[in-house]
Amino acid sequence: MIEETHIEALRVLLGEKGLLTEPADMAAYETGARYDKGRAAFVARPASTGEVSAVVAYCVKNGIALVPQSGNTGLVSGSTPDGSGRQGVLSLDRLTTPFQLNRVNRTLTAGAGLRLSDVNGRLEDAGLFFPIDLGADPRLGGMIATNTGGSRFLRYGDVRRNTLGLKVVLADEAGTVLDLGRGLRKDNTGVDWKQLFIGTSGAFGIVTECVLNLEPLPRQVATALLVPASPDRVPELLVAMEDALGSYLSAFEGMSRNAVAAAFSHVPSLRNPFQGGVVPDFVILTEISRTSPPREGEQPLDAVLEEVLGGIWEREETPLADAFVGPPAEMWALRHALSEGVKHSGRLIAFDLSFRRGDIMRFLDHMKAEMPQHFENVTICDFGHIGDGGVHFNLVVPADDPRLSDGAFEARLREWVFMVAVEEFGGSYSAEHAIGRKNQVFYDRYTPEAVRRLAAGLKAITSPGPLGSVTF
């Protein structure tokens, strides 16, 4: 633990509400969303950029390591302290101002501690939203630090694409504050510095405010569950949907039978639309949407979707075996139940991978064939964003499996999965969860030496103090 004099100095900077030191108060900040748990020296909860700057400056001057923490919904141990008890957590949960909507510019200037659900709830009356659709409810700062994507990446892109400006505190002795961006969509006056802080896990600086691009809320939506003729026809089906629907297509989400079955088991209220209740090997949730209100004489989106699917169905060698058009809320309820369903099926070892779109199904078929040869009694429950190349490759081990008591078992499993994904299929070991302690060894292995040198140099320039859980 750190010296009491440091605790008292931080308390002076932050006040009683701004600093937690009691174990019971810190427990939630020490425990991650997926089994990881560390030990914090303290939890700092600044309420303004100025307070963040003061805390960071003090800690850098005194050699105190800080781990920035946003909503703590990450899955790779990126936002929790290690077990040493010598790292402080800097939480963003009190950075909930400003909230400044510019309706004409279609932007929002917001505090990094605001949760996604709160942001979109407050924007609804203006007919706008921040278009990153996630199963979890993170805070904005963490979304920026990990560059999240979500289920509608296909239409709206990721956080990087939708971030127009940042306010960042650097981990140097001055606690330097950078104001990067004025809400401009076009500004080619030099290096786009804000990009350094997006997707780099908070190691280069702590985001305290952001300027976000907003999109009009969809006013018409239609959804369907698609059953491909076979898994290898999924890429063909995706291209057919894009060709027919263009920008109307907003989601193309793949769900394996094991994942869907786990969701039905965990949430009995979900409606099973499949004939005889038999879940197909692979299912796709597709969504199309319009932002304009319905117009007189305009073909409803349900009819548009049915017409497109009918055209694909009538092809001589169709990639489509079956389709179920249904209410969007019902369809998305199934998709959003997958994570919890899989999590409650046993001990979950999760991977967030990405590939070129045409390689996803090949990878999944390969792993289904090879998994029993390498790791018996491990169930693959995959689902993910087929439209953008991402897949949540979830592995479930029975909760009473004795291998779970051996830490080397999970390490071997991760080693094998990442080796196949990266070395054999040219994919990424982290699609949108960033790095974190769980992925550090793979960053070191798969990042070219010249790139690592460059990243380390940027880290030394921006935030030379001990910041974050990742070593660049």
Whether the pLDDT of residue 221 is over 90: the answer is: yes
What backbone phi and psi angles, to 5 degrees, belong to 413?
Answer: -65, -45
pLDDT given for residue 74 in this prediction = 86
CA distance 229 to 154: 22
Query: What pLDDT does 32 receive?
Result: 85
- Locate CATH 3.30.70.2190 in the chain: 220-337
Per-residue confidence at 181, pLDDT binned at 50, 70, 90? confident
Give the pLDDT band of residue 345 (cuts 50, 70, 90).
Answer: very high
b/e sequence 352-378, b meaning 16+ C-beta within 10 Å: bbbbebebbbbbbeebeeebeeebeeb
Place 136 in a pLDDT band, splitting at 50, 70 and 90.
confident
Q: What's residue 337's pLDDT? A: 95
Per-residue confidence (pLDDT) for residue 36, from 0 to 100: 84
For residue 141 the two structure tokens come to 């700062």
DSSP state of 324: E
- Residue in the structure block whose two tokens are 């009691």: 22
pLDDT of amino acid 312: 97
pLDDT number for residue 134: 83
pLDDT band at 467 (very low <50, low <70, confident <90, very high): very high
pLDDT tier, 432 (very low <50, low <70, confident <90, very high otherwise): confident
Q: What is the mean pLDDT of the chain?
A: 95
Q: What one-letter code names the amino acid at 59?
A: C
What is the per-residue pLDDT for 315?
A: 95
What is the DSSP secondary-structure string of 284-310? EEEEEEESSPP-TTPPPHHHHHHHHHH
pLDDT score for 97: 96
Give the percent of the chain with pLDDT over 70.
100
- Please determine, for residue 76, whether its predicted confidence score (pLDDT) is greater than 90: no
> Could you say which architecture CATH assigns to the domain 4-94?
2-Layer Sandwich (3.30)
Give the integer Cα–Cα distance in Å for 26 and 43: 7
The span from the CA of 261 to the CA of 338, in Å, is 9
In the chain, list all ranges with CATH 3.30.70.2740.
346-433
Residue 1 pLDDT more than 80?
no
Residue 178 has pLDDT above 90, yes or no: yes
pLDDT tens-digit profile of 100-133?
999 999 999 999 999 999 999 999 999 999 999 8
Distance CA 47, CA 152 (A): 32
Q: Looking at residue 33, what is its pLDDT?
A: 82
Least confident of 32-41, 42-51, 333-342: 32-41
Residue 317 has pLDDT above 80, yes or no: yes
What is the number of residues in the chain? 472
Mean pLDDT of 187-196: 94
Q: How far apart are CA 139 and CA 270, in angstroms?
A: 28
Give, for 8, the enclosing helix (H) or strand (E). helix 4-14
- Does domain 220-337 fall into CATH 3.30.70.2190? yes
What's 422's DSSP letter?
I
78 pLDDT band, cuts 50/70/90, is confident
pLDDT of residue 34 exceeding 80: no
Q: What is the mean pLDDT of residues 262-273?
A: 94
Contact 392, 148 (CB under 8 A): no
**Location of structure tokens 């060894």:** 441
Residue range(s) of every CATH 3.30.43.10 domain in the chain = 4-94
Q: What's the confidence (pLDDT) of residue 182?
A: 86
CATH code reported for the domain at 346-433? 3.30.70.2740
CATH domain 107-216 topology:
3.30.465
Nearest to 344 by CA among 403, 282, 263: 263
| pLDDT digit string, tens, across residues 330-341 | 999 999 999 999
For CATH 3.30.465.10, the residue range(s) in the chain are 107-216
Indicate the pLDDT class of residue 407, thresholds 50, 70 and 90.
confident
